[in-house]
Amino acid sequence: MAVNKRGKKWWVDFSFNSTRHRLPSPDNSGAGAKAYELLLRQKLARGEPLHETPQAKDDKLTFREFAERWFKDYVEVNNKLSEQRSKRSILNNHLFPFFGKLELKKISRYDIDRYKAEKQKRGLSHKSINNSLHALSKCLKTAEEWEILDLSPRIKHLSVIPPKFDYLSEEECKLLLKHATGVISDMILFAWHTGFRFGEIIALTWKDIDFDRGIITLSKAIARGHLGTTKSNKTRHAYITADVREMLTRRREKIKNMLVFPNTKGGYMIQARCVEWLHELCDTSGLRKIGWHTFRHTFASHLVEKGISLRTVQELLGHSDPQTTMRYAHLGPMILKEAVKIFDRPRTIFNLRHNSVTIPNLEREHRPISEIYES
């Protein structure tokens, strides 16, 4: 028996048909190493390979096999429950039917272009196709990071026309509030003046509100009935207006619950029911039917129309990508008008004596949101 211990590790080291085999023992003991050497000699005598390397296993790995491993070891570990469900739906309904049986290492840019073409023929929107491509890209890049793929194929997403959005005028918001009562009225006012997502509103607790400083700390949201982090996975802060402060103060005195907007049983509001209430209120008010996200668009649109910079709006909405906020740019022509006025002040810009350039701050002075709505 040719076994030996080097440092803290037991090894087997022997020759068979003039070929030397030197391998670490999986059982790190003298007896374990002897048993491992015997096992290896028996496999060689039968003409079997000593072990199936990870590389050999992965050579014929299909996309479905790897994607299931990726979902278990990456998605379930790193993604929120809502994101896990979304990726599982994309895998089952879109990626597996097309790529499932293909060998992972043989997926090419041509295959991906064929996938895009097929989905377009079936009438799937560019946005939906891009969502599935994003999941595919992350899956393949993970295979590259795990050294299963040498290089993942480059994926080109489809161009998407910025989606149209609806928002209410201040008069329409006031009309809704005129006909609304109870918790639905309070939630509408809160959504209009904060721009919070519906899931963020119903997850709000009194501990999140600092009445002394007039600040709300937002770190969680409800998604598909489960409590988790916000959409951007970031904590952000919002400032309450005078009307919202008055409403919250009244609710705090009346509602004996940790949630700011609980249902009648003290639990989380259900979005489908709240949408029904909102639609009924729209009918009563003589307005078009809207969703709760319309108030988020309304909050942002009103700020931009009043001259608040897009950068500030981005911070208040918690957008990770500035391009998401840019959809409101056309509502703020005064910002562009003020920007080009920089050329009317050449002495302010160019300081020839010091050979330097000084750009004045064009941002409007930040004001509390309460002043914006009261102006």
Contact 271, 198 (CB under 8 A): yes
- Beta strand residue intervals within the chain, DSSP E: 3-6, 9-16, 19-24, 209-210, 215-218, 220-223, 226-229, 236-239, 350-351, 356-357
The reply to whether 296 belongs to the active site is: yes
Contact 207, 215 (CB under 8 A): no
Of these residues, 36, 302, 319, 373, which one is catalytic?
Answer: 319
Of these residues, 119, 193, 296, 302, which one is catalytic?
Answer: 296
For 347, half-sphere exposure in the C-beta direction (CA atoms, 13 angstrom radius) is 0
The reply to whether 116 belongs to the active site is: no
Output the CA angle 282-288-290, nearest 5 degrees: 75
Structure tokens at 328: 């409101």
Of these residues, 64, 85, 220, 306, which one is catalytic?
Answer: 220
Q: What's the rounded Cα separation, in Å, for the pair 248 and 261?
A: 10
The reply to whether 293 belongs to the active site is: yes
Of these residues, 87, 197, 297, 302, which one is catalytic?
Answer: 197
The reply to whether 328 belongs to the active site is: yes
Of these residues, 156, 174, 293, 345, which one is catalytic?
Answer: 293
Pairing state between β 226-229 and 220-223 = antiparallel
Contact 345, 357 (CB under 8 A): no
Of these residues, 36, 115, 167, 328, which one is catalytic?
Answer: 328
User: Taking Cα atoms as reference points, which of 187, 160, 148, 202 lies closest to residue 321?
Assistant: 160
The reply to whether 197 belongs to the active site is: yes
The reply to whether 213 belongs to the active site is: no
Q: Which residues are catalytic?
A: 197, 220, 293, 296, 319, 328
